[in-house]
Amino acid sequence: MIIESRWESERLLIGDLNSQEVDEVQELYKTSSNISLWGREESEVDYIRYCFSEGDLPPNGIKKNYKIQTIKSKTESNDLIGLISIYCGYPKEKIAYISFLCIGNLYKSLGYGQEIINQFMYP
């Protein structure tokens, strides 16, 4: 399974994280109200930078199979709504899994998470 560098849903644009977006996405990640429930350590202050440079890989995983992508609105303001981290090819070649999906606090309960999952599963 290959995840495109850019894809979209009805209201959202999803695309590969670039170096200019890392700090903004890190801030969104840090301020997400439920981050502590994921078992992530607060000391992971550069977690997004790590994912961008190294990847959040499974055992024996390879970076080329990993993507961290931004989720933005299709509106003129192109607001950063969240991020998604995806790995393809583990534990089997034709499997892709979402290692995390984060929707910013301002955008929770608006159906964006479900919209992403639906588009991911049924493109």
Give pLDDT tens digits for 48-92: 999 999 999 999 999 999 999 999 999 989 999 999 999 999 988
pTM for this entry = 0.89
Counting every residue written for the chain, the total comes to 123
Which CB contacts under 8 angstroms, 24+ apart, belong to 49-53?
49/22, 51/17, 51/85, 52/17, 52/19, 52/22
CA R_g for the chain? 14
Average pLDDT over residues 40-50: 71
Distance CA 95, CA 119 (A): 16
Biggest distance spanned by C-alpha atoms of the chain:
41
Q: Where are the domains of the chain?
A: 6-121
Average pLDDT over residues 32-52: 70
Helix then strand then coil, % of the chain, to nearest 5: 35, 25, 40
Contact predicate 10/63, CB 8 Å: no
For the domain 6-121, what is the CATH superfamily, name and number?
Gcn5-related N-acetyltransferase (GNAT) (3.40.630.30)
DSSP string over 42-90? TT-TTHHHHHHHT----TT--GGGEEEEEEEESSTT--EEEEEEEEESS
Higher pLDDT, 35 or 24: 24
When comparing pLDDT for 39 and 118, which is higher? 118
